Structure formats: C-alpha cells, structure tokens
Amino acid sequence: MNSTDKRRLLVILVVLACFGLPLLINGPLTPDEDTPMIPLGLDLRGGVDVQISVDTDYQERALLDTLRFEINTQLRSVLGGGGSTLRSTGETEEPGLRLTLDNPGQDANAVAEMLDGFVRRGDIQDFDRAALATSRGVVLRFNPTTLRSEVDEAIQQASRIVKERVDALGVAQSDVRVEGGNRIRVQLPGQRDPSRVINNLVRPATLEFRLVYPDEAGARMESVLEQLIDRDGTVRPGARIPDGWIVMPGLPDRDERVRATQFIGEQTIETPRGPETREVAWYLVRADADVRGEHLRTVRAEAGGTFGNEMVVSFELNSEGTRRFRDVTEAHAPTPTVEHRLAIVLEGTVRSAPRIAEAIPGGRGQISGGFSFEEARDLENILKTGALPARLVPGEMSVVGASLGEDSIRSGIRASLLGGVLVFAFMLWYYATGGVIAVISLILNVFLVLGVLSMMRATLTLPGIAGIILTIGMAVDANVLIYERIREEIRAGKSLRNAIGLGFDRAFSAIMDANVTTLVTSLVLLQFGFGPIRGFALTMTFGIFATLFTGLFVTQALLGVFFSLHERLNLGAVQWFRDPHFNWVGSRWPAYIVSLVLIAASIGHVPLIGGPRLGVDFTGGVQT
C-alpha cells in the first residue's frame, strides 16, 4: 500500500468519524421521541399543517378607520370642532370615506387645502374639489400604492409574529412562510392539538388599559348603562353614548358582591360548534386606550390571586408605559364623590376592572380570569410576541396522526432495504470484486447522508427517504461509469493500475456533469419548495455531495488498496452491450410516430378519468 492510498484511507476515516458521531449521540429514529436521531418531518412524525389567510378586506377597513381618525382630527382644527360629517362608504360601494360639509361654500377651500396634505403624503388619491363645494360632498379613496404597501407590510409582520408564536410553543423543525400573497402556511411536526395551535396563532393578543366610566354619587356606571343599552349590548332607541366612551363586553365577576354592581347581559359569539349565547358584563370605557400592549416589558404566567391558588399573568411596563400608567392613576385618584376604575382589556374583552385606590408608580400588574395553567402559558407567549397587525382567518388544515408517521417510516425503510438489496445484488453479480467495493461505497454514501442530516438537525420527510433511494441510484450510475471506463482501458491493453487511474479520469467529466445539473434542480426546489418538497431537495443535495465523495474518492481509494494487497482485480465476466450496433438516426421516424401517439393518448385520457386525482396536500382535509 503506497502513501497515497494511506492518506486517502485516513481522510475517509476522519470524514466517517465526523459525520457518524451525531448518529451515535442522538436518539432513535422514532416519531414518538422529542429528539430523534434525525428530526422527522410532518409526514413521518405526525402533526398539524394549517393555512392561515390574512383578511385583507378587514385590514383595509382598519386602515380606513385610522385615516378617518386622522382626517377628523385635522377637520376639527380647520373648522373649529364641527361643521362636517365623515363616514365610511356603504358596503355596496368601493371602500372609501364620504366627506360632507355643513357650509361647503364657506369651508371648501380650507378643507381642500388640508386634504391636499394627505394627497401629497400618498394617503389618498386626488379628489374632486368641485364636489367638495357641493352639498353631496366628496368620496376620499385610499392611494392604491400606499394601500398595497400597508397590506403587504401587515402580512409580513403577521408572518413574523406567527413564527415567534410557533417558536414560543417549543415546536422543533417548524416551517412558516408566506404563500400566494395573503396566505401564511404553517407546518408543526409533533403537535396533536390543532384547536390549541390555531387559537394561539390567530389570537389578536391586543392588551389595553382603559378608564371605566366614573362612578359618581347617585349615578353608578351600571345604572347609566341600563338606560343606554339592552342586555345584548344594542343601543336603545333615542339613547346616546357619551362622547369619548364606548360599550365593551367583559367577564362577569365570580364574587357575587362585585357582580351585583355589574350590568349583566348576554352576547352571541361564533364558535366551532356554531353561534353560542354567553353571559357578559357590559362596561362603559374610554374610547382611546391609555396604555397598550406595546408598552409591555416583561410578561410571566404564575400562581397568584387572593389566596395564591389561581393562575394569573403578571406584567411589567417599560418606561413609557410606566409613565402613562402613573399619570392616569394619579389623575384619577378617588375623591369623596367619584370612584375610578381601570379596565384591563384583552382582545376586546374586559378581564377585570380594579378600583384605582392611589397613584401606581411601579408599572406592574396582573391579568386574572380563571386561567388554566396551559391558558396562562399561552397568553404569556402571545403577549410576548405582540399583537397581530391584521386579522388572521384559519383556512385549510391537515392533521397527520403519529401512527401514520410510524407506518410511513416502516414503509420507507422497507422500500429502501428492498431497493438497496436489489442494487447490491446486481452490482455483485455484474462486477464481482468491483461490485463488492461499489456496495461498500454505496453504504458509506447513505451513512454520510444520514450523518449530515443528524449533524445539521435537518428534517427527514417521506419524500426525503425517496431522495435517499434516488441518491443510491445516482451513486450506482457513477460506479458503473467508472468500471466501464476501466474495462475499456483494459481492453485497450493498459495495465490494471494504469487502467484504474485512466478510468477515473475519463469518467470524471460525465459524473460531474450529471451531478451538477441535478444539484441545480435540487437547489431550486430547496429555495422555492415547501415542506415535503424541501425534504426531498435537502436529501438530494446532501446525496449529490456524498455521491461525488464516495464515487470519485472512496471507490478509487478502496480499489487502490485492494490492488496493492492482491495485485489483481476481478471486474466480472458479464459484459452486456460491449459492441452495440444500432441505427438510431435511421429509426427516428418510427420513434417520432410512436411518441406522438403515446402523448396524444395520454392527454386524451385525462378528461376521461375526470382529471388528475389530487391528494390531501392539494385539496386540504384531515389525514389520520
């Protein structure tokens, strides 16, 4: 054995040690393990695959509400507090804001000048100034470029928050990405509770602190509300909500003494089981929030309450939030005639409304509401990630059971073993001793691919197993090219040692061309594919590099070592197609005709069977 062969063997041993170590350290390849030898994808481990849509219509209406607030603020400044009406257009009209002036002839020029600022800023399109000076008013519409930019930004921000919430759930090897403009695709291997997953992903997570309408002597908030709204929250005919205040639902207090002071009503909400009517406590709260969730610094789920036996979510505000919290509690300290409360509003529902006893300078508090441990932890996680910038709507969902993953693993292993045995048997029969070396090279190839997957904690999917099987086929192809070139050199009269070297040199370009073109395809799939497709592309990419290493380096090293030890090498006596003679060009016309007939028959057969049969990953549904 010469020094070159020794160096090659040393390199092989070092590579095998580096990539084989993770396989020995990590756990077994089973879907019920949290840290298997190789992380398993959704189709092998089971889990949830859900598609979430961003409600762009709702987002546009929310942006219009914000724009209406800004324009109204400017109108009050220009007109001195009144003299105009600004409302949203009807549902049958294109979304916009209809502005009418009480004195159009007098105020139109000043208002038009103010609106020009919104046009220059890119918020609204240019408007009809002549219509503004009439009694029918003018319709202001969003600048479509600005609207599209705002919606796209909301979608990207929602995707980032969803990713953070998925990470907070502790799901390994999850995949979150934007698809089709306004859809977010989420794959969560190992999850068994789809309702909890969806609830955590689409919850708005808006946290606000709002002043409650003050309890004055002889005029408690509950008695005021009783005169303004019905039990279902509908404003009574002729009643008028005080300016700057809104009605908001809340949780009825479990303490009967507090409950007696609440205006208890009912609210119908949509649930997975259909509409449900639930008991609520109605509150009259300030329209503008004094402190918001964006002012949170830390959030923590812990045991609390009066006796420390219920789960609460404690929070601490940042410096800006602490200053606002202190100012509002200091400005609304109780007096002999007025008592103030501060409502803690979570996702549009008042969770509690504690009485303001004194100024609170620390910026700390608790959110209670009869949470279970899991609910408190979920609330902690979503408050940490922040509120969603848009409303998310659950769409198609696929749930893959763990038992299906176990069956997939067993089927994949059986297919791999069967394919491998057949390939190994052919190589041993056709190339004899050279086939033994090729088989060793193929085994090392698969070992390296699994080692890289384990070391990088890359996800193995069912298509990924197919990629490994295809890698074996490509590796066999490389060995066949090498051995056939060696046979050609031996027939040309070269010595065996020279034939081995020349065979590898002449097979090199063909092997590189085939693998590089496949690598380009794999990288494209890896970049733009999703889920199982990426799993296939990943194993193919690793397999290509493993094939180049084992085919061009390991096989040559093993052939060199074997020749050095035995001075001979049996490449088999079977040689098919040694001197083939076939007029391919002369047979092109019959081949054209047969190909066209088969293509036409295939296309014509598609409508007869009702088109292609799509799987659950295309049609959606539940897979168990």
DSSP alpha helices (H): ranges in 386-401?
none
Q: Is residue 587 assigned to a domain?
A: no
- Regarding whether 209 and 186 lie in a shared domain, the answer is no
pLDDT at 605 over 80: yes
Q: Is residue 608 assigned to a domain?
A: no
Q: Give residue 271's pLDDT band: very low, low, confident or very high (50, 70, 90).
A: low
Q: Using CB atoms within 10 A of its CB, is residue 367 exposed (0-12), middle (13-18) or buried (19+)?
A: buried
Tokens representing 114 are 């103010």
Q: Could you say which of 387, 421, 441 is where a domain stops?
A: 387
Q: Is residue 319 assigned to a domain?
A: yes
Q: Give the DSSP letter of residue 287.
A: S
Average pLDDT for 441-463: 84
More reliable by pLDDT, 590 or 239:
590
For 98-107, 158-167, 270-279, 379-388, which range has the lowest pLDDT when averaged over its residues? 270-279
pLDDT at 1 over 70: no
SS3 label, residue 464: helix
Q: Could you say which of 352, 387, 422 is where a domain stops?
A: 387
For 271-275, 429-433, 574-578, 594-598, which range has the lowest pLDDT when averaged over its residues? 574-578
Q: Give residue 546's pLDDT band: very low, low, confident or very high (50, 70, 90).
A: very high
Q: Using CB atoms within 10 A of its CB, is residue 624 exposed (0-12), middle (13-18) or buried (19+)?
A: exposed
CATH of the domain at 382: 3.30.1360.200
More reliable by pLDDT, 69 or 323:
323
Q: How many domains does the chain have?
A: 4
- Regarding whether 97 and 39 lie in a shared domain, the answer is no
Q: Return the percentage of the chain with pLDDT > 90, whole number.
A: 4
pLDDT at 72 over 50: yes
Average pLDDT for 164-184: 78
- Regarding whether 354 and 211 lie in a shared domain, the answer is yes
Tell me what pLDDT residue 256 has. 63
Tokens representing 200 are 């955590």
Contacts of 611 (CB under 8 A, 6+ apart): none
User: What is the identity of the amino acid at 479?
Assistant: N
Average pLDDT for 131-146: 84
Q: Is residue 223 assigned to a domain?
A: yes
Tell me what pLDDT residue 516 has. 92
Tell me what pLDDT residue 592 has. 92
- Regarding whether 139 and 85 lie in a shared domain, the answer is yes
- Regarding whether 235 and 381 lie in a shared domain, the answer is yes
- Regarding whether 180 and 161 lie in a shared domain, the answer is yes
Rg (CA), the chain: 36
Q: Is residue 605 assigned to a domain?
A: no
Average pLDDT for 556-562: 84
- Which of 17-21, 300-304, 334-338, 367-371 is the most confident on average? 300-304
State the pTM of this model: 0.63
- Full residue range of the structural domain in which residue 535 is found: 3-43+401-580
pLDDT at 431 over 60: yes
Q: Give the DSSP letter of residue 126.
A: -
Tell me what pLDDT residue 31 has. 46
- Regarding whether 510 and 486 lie in a shared domain, the answer is yes
* Phi, psi torsion values for 466, nearest 5 degrees: -60, -35
Computed over every residue of the chain, the mean pLDDT equals 80
Average pLDDT for 616-624: 60
394 DSSP β-pair partners: 52
Q: Give residue 620's pLDDT band: very low, low, confident or very high (50, 70, 90).
A: low
pLDDT at 499 over 70: yes
What confidence tens digit (pLDDT) does each residue in 377-405 have? Answer: 888 888 777 777 778 888 777 777 666 66
Average pLDDT for 26-39: 56
- Regarding whether 444 and 548 lie in a shared domain, the answer is yes
SS3 label, residue 107: helix
What confidence tens digit (pLDDT) does each residue in 331-355 have? Answer: 888 777 777 888 888 888 888 888 8
Tokens representing 492 are 């040309």
Query: Are residues 78 and 114 in contact, defined by beta-carbon separation less than 8 angstroms?
Result: yes
- Regarding whether 153 and 252 lie in a shared domain, the answer is no
Average pLDDT for 596-617: 81
User: What is the identity of the amino acid at 192?
Assistant: R
The count of other CB atoms within 10 Å of the CB of residue 28 is 10
Q: Terminal CA-to-CA distance of the chain, rounded, Å?
A: 57
Q: Could you say which of 197, 226, 259 is where a domain stops?
A: 197
Q: Is residue 464 assigned to a domain?
A: yes
Q: Give residue 173's pLDDT band: very low, low, confident or very high (50, 70, 90).
A: low
In the 3-class helix/strand/coil scheme, how is 128-156 assigned residue by residue? CHHHHCCCCCEEECECHHHHHHHHHHHHH
More reliable by pLDDT, 144 or 410:
144
More reliable by pLDDT, 89 or 13:
13
pLDDT at 470 over 70: yes
- Regarding whether 563 and 495 lie in a shared domain, the answer is yes
pLDDT at 544 over 90: yes
In the 3-class helix/strand/coil scheme, how is 93-129 assigned residue by residue? CCCCEEEEECCHHHHHHHHHHHHHHHHHCCCECCCCH
- With b meaning 16 or more CB within 10 Å and e meaning fewer, what string describes 570-597? ebbeeeeeeeeeeeeeeeeeeeeeeeee
Q: Is residue 103 assigned to a domain?
A: yes
- Regarding whether 178 and 141 lie in a shared domain, the answer is no
* Phi, psi torsion values for 54, nearest 5 degrees: -85, 125
- Regarding whether 282 and 182 lie in a shared domain, the answer is no
CA 217 to chain centre: 53
Query: Are residues 194 and 48 in contact, defined by beta-carbon separation less than 8 angstroms?
Result: yes
CATH of the domain at 483: 1.20.1640.10
Q: Is residue 620 assigned to a domain?
A: no
More reliable by pLDDT, 575 or 561:
561
Query: Are residues 571 and 559 in contact, defined by beta-carbon separation less than 8 angstroms?
Result: no
The count of other CB atoms within 10 Å of the CB of residue 371 is 19
Q: Give residue 85's pLDDT band: very low, low, confident or very high (50, 70, 90).
A: confident
Q: Return the percentage of the chain with pLDDT > 70, whole number.
A: 87
